[in-house]
Amino acid sequence: MIQKSVIEILYLFSAFLFISGLKIIGTTKHSRKGNWISAIGMLLAIIGSLMDERVNNLSWIFSAIIVGSVLGILSARKVRMNSIPLMVSFLNGMGGASAATIGAFQYMNHPGFTYGAVVDNTSLAILLSIISGTMSFSGSVITFGKIKGWVTEKSVFYPLQKTLNVSLLFIIGGISLFILIREGVDSELVILLSILSFLYGFLLILPVKGNNIPVAISILNSMTGFSTLMIGFVFENLILIMGGIIVWSAGILLAFHMSKALNKPLSTVFFQTRETNKSLVKSERGLIAKEISLIDAAILIGYAKRIIVVPGYGFGVSQAQFVCQELDHLLTARGIEVYYAIHPIAGRMPGHMNVLLAEADIPYKRFLELEEANQQFSITDIALVIGANDIINPRAIKDKKSPLYGMPILDVSEAKNIIILKKGADSGYSGEENPIFFHEKSSVILGDAKHNLNHIVKEIIEN
């Protein structure tokens, strides 16, 4: 009885730390502290679970903990900050696969399936954990491939896309109901259910474009949280239930928050319309982007009084954050004000730009959210755009035919000058031509952002 009370107290503290950590992580200044608080909560949850009298085979459990911890620490130390979205997708996929695997083993041993007890809530929870966990795993595999470049980041279309997805859901539901009402264990049916769930997760994420990947990651996170919640019901484990609810609800809320930032329904993230690519350097109307030399860019930047940096996905790909830090220190030492405008969907995961800038020790107080940045561009000498495209595209607010229409943007056109660092002449992931590149205030520098920033820093120092 005392042992059970201790476990419940540990779970209570663990849940409190999870919620507190999640809240603190949401504040940029103390995000690292929030991460540690959540980690301590997880440690307490593990200790509480190991104290459960139903737990046996401790040698196997501790072996798995040691191996997993070593692999986790080594992976975390080797992964670069621009690869964090890859790690998030990988870990999320592993979480879903773990829940699905546990659910499958429980199916083979649960008495509810032997007697066909459709009213058995545990049986239903087992099947839901298999379905949601498998969907999360396959979806995370595709997300990983898109971020890595193994799978195209453009929308992938196939015939009868919506019809096939809806039909798959009905088939999955029908098979699940049949498993619940029939007597006996049928491993072949569960394998078929897992394959169809895997296929659904695959087809759901395949049409997602690169700029919508943060939304997809949030949805997949919520799926993993839901599968964990179901496993918690199976084992009557309070911390799994509470943790699953937190991850499930947080993932859904974050997905809706980001789809709101895109100003589009969540469904359109997964069901795209066809589009064509446009060139950056030469527009469809024959306009030519004005290019600027690194020396001239350095002179403009070096004599500015106020600069707002606008980082995008290309900022992370080129690992430009540390050179940006050098430039920041150089400019602030000259009395120049430097700020950073963060768009909610910039990068490939929620908070991607915040993570990169924090790694380079850029002061949090100089981070500007979208609305605040837009209010300050008009009093800014230079908007320095590094690897960003769609999030500064004015078509999002001016062209009703554009797939970007309705998405709030960082309105860099309000700044006195715009310097754009971009790797190549391609359009953004939306495939839309960006008029800002042909704006009279804009100057473009093509090439690797890190390399070009290095040259700009050297020119400012020398001149």
Q: What are phi and psi of 330, to 5 degrees?
A: -65, -45
Q: Where are the alpha helices (DSSP H) in 209-306?
A: 213-235, 238-262, 267-270, 294-302
Marked catalytic residue, from 390, 411, 426, 448? 390
Q: Is residue 259 part of a domain?
A: yes
pLDDT at 262: 65
38 pLDDT more than 60: yes
67 pLDDT band (50/70/90 cuts)?
very high
Weakest mean pLDDT among 99-108, 332-341, 430-439: 430-439
Same-domain check for residues 59 and 196 = no
- The pTM of the full predicted model, rounded to 2 decimals, is 0.75
Are 305 and 230 in a shared domain? no
Same structural domain for residues 63 and 106? no
Q: Which domain holds residue 55?
A: 1-78
pLDDT for the residue numbered 380: 96
Whether residues 233 and 92 share a domain: the answer is yes
CA angle 100, 102, 107 (to 5 degrees): 90
pLDDT value at position 430?
59
Q: Is there a single domain that holds both residue 151 and residue 64?
A: no
**Residue 288 belongs to some domain of the structure:** no
In this model, does residue 157 exceed pLDDT 80?
Answer: no
Structure-model confidence comparison of residues 162 and 111, the more confident one: 162
Give pLDDT, residue 306: 96
Q: Is residue 285 part of a domain?
A: no
Residue 285 has pLDDT above 60, yes or no: no
The strand order across the sheet containing 382-386 reads: 367-369, 337-342, 306-311, 382-386, 417-422, 442-446
Tell whether 306 and 449 lie within a shared domain: yes
Is 390 assigned a catalytic role?
yes
- pLDDT, average across residues 345-366: 83
Average pLDDT, the chain: 85
**pLDDT tens digits, residue range 5-34?**
888 889 889 989 988 988 887 666 677 788
pLDDT at 117 over 60: no
- Residue 287 clears pLDDT 70, i.e. is over it: no
Point out the domain boundary residue: 16, 50, 78. Answer: 78
pLDDT tens by residue, 169-201:
999 999 998 888 877 777 889 999 999 999 999
**377 with 411: CB under 8 angstroms?**
yes
Q: Does residue 386 share a domain with residue 366?
A: yes
| 263 and 368 part of one domain | no
Q: Closest Cα to residue 264, out of 111, 390, 103? A: 390
Interior CA angle at 269 toward 268 and 275, to 5°? Answer: 75
Give 232-281 pLDDT, tens digit per residue: 999 888 889 988 999 999 889 888 877 776 666 777 667 655 544 444 44
CB atoms within 10 A of CB 158: 9
In a domain, 143, yes or no: yes
Q: Is the pLDDT of residue 164 over 50?
A: yes
pLDDT at 279: 43
Evaluate if residue 99 carries a pLDDT over 90.
yes
Residues 240 and 365 in one domain: no
Q: Are residues 63 and 126 in the same domain?
A: no
- Give a yes or no: residue 136 inside a domain: yes
Q: How many domains does the chain have?
A: 3
pLDDT at 302 over 80: yes
Assigned domain for 49 exists: yes
Q: What is the pLDDT of residue 276?
A: 45
Residues 336 and 432 in one domain: yes
Same domain, residue pair 126 and 54: no
Residue 131 has pLDDT above 70, yes or no: yes
